[in-house]
Amino acid sequence: MRKPAAARPAKKAKARTGTGTRPIAQPAEPAMDVAVGRRIRDLRRVRQFSLETVASRTELSIGFLSQIERGLSSPSLRVLATLADVLGVGIAALFGASPSSDGGSDQVVTRGLQRPELKLWRTGVSKQLLSPASADNRLNLFLVHLEPGGSTGDELYTHDGEEAGLVLEGEMMLTVDSETWSLKTGDSFRFASRRPHRFSNPAQDAKAVVLWVNCVTGAG
C-alpha cells in the first residue's frame, strides 16, 4: 500500500487588525482541525496504540502525528484515509461526531441540519456525512464539495474498501491506477479503494458536488 508523504505543519496565521484596536476574527477552520485531531487521539487510545505504533504503521513521523492530534496541523484526505485504516475504522469515524442519543448506532435518519462535516480547508475538499454517525458503520454516504481547483493532491493513495459516486454538479477529474476520466454532471463511477486513486476539480470558477459512497470491507 502506497503511503502518503507527511504534510508540512500548518503555519499559524497572524491576526490582522482593521483600525488597530480590534483584531479581525480568525477563520473557524482550525477548530475543525482540533476536533478531528481529538477524535484520532481518542480512537488511538481506545485501541491502546502508542504514537510510535501508529507512526510505524503509517510511515508518518511521530511529531507530525502529535501535531495532528493537537490540531496544529491540517491533514490531507490521503493522511486521514491512512490513519483510518490503521485505526480500523472508516473515514466517517474521524468526523468527530457522536451518535445521537435517540438512536446510537441503530440510528436510521440523519436530518439535513444535523450533518457532520469534515472540511479539509487547505485542499478545497469538504465532506458532509449523510448517513448516521457511528464508528461501527461499514457503509457511509457523503456529499463531497470540491472548491474550484480543490483536490486530494498529486499523489495517488489507497485505503480499505470500495467506493462509488455520482457527480451532481460541476466537473471532477478522477484517476484510478494509470487512467484518468473527466466526469461531468450525471456521470458516475465505482472502484475498489485499494486501487491507487486521486480526484480533483479542474474548474477555476465553479464548485463540484459529488454524492459519494464508501463501503469499508476489512476494518475492525
**Least confident range of 62-71, 104-113, 149-158, 187-196:** 104-113
Query: DSSP characters for 104-166?
Result: GGG-----GGG--EEEETTTTEEEEE-SPP-TT-SEEEEEEEE-TT-BS-SS-B--SSEEEEE
With a cut of 90, say whether residue 41 has pLDDT above it. Answer: yes
Name the one residue in this structure whose C-alpha cell is 474521524: 94
Q: At what angle do helices 51-58 and 62-69 cross, to 10 degrees?
A: 110
CB 217 within 8 A of CB 162: yes
List the helix and strand counts (H, then E) for the chain: 4, 9
| Torsion, Cα of 27, 83, 216, 99 (10° steps) | -50
Q: How does pLDDT run across 55-89, given as a tens digit for each residue?
A: 999 999 999 999 999 999 888 888 999 999 999 88
Closest CA to 120 of 141, 87, 142: 142
Q: Whole-prediction pTM value?
A: 0.76
**Least confident range of 44-58, 123-137, 174-188:** 123-137
Predicted pLDDT of residue 24? 41
Copy the grid coordinates of residue 174. Answer: 478522477
The sheet carrying 179-184 orders its strands as: 179-184, 171-176, 197-200
| Secondary structure class of 19 (helix, strand, coil) | coil
Rounded Cα distance, 24 and 21, in Å:
10
Copy the grid coordinates of residue 11. Answer: 503555519
CB 128 within 8 A of CB 141: no
**How big is the chain, counted in residues?**
220
Q: How does pLDDT run across 169-196, given as a tens digit for each residue?
A: 999 999 999 999 999 999 999 999 999 9
With a cut of 50, say whether residue 13 has pLDDT above it. Answer: no
With a cut of 70, say whether residue 141 has pLDDT above it. Answer: yes
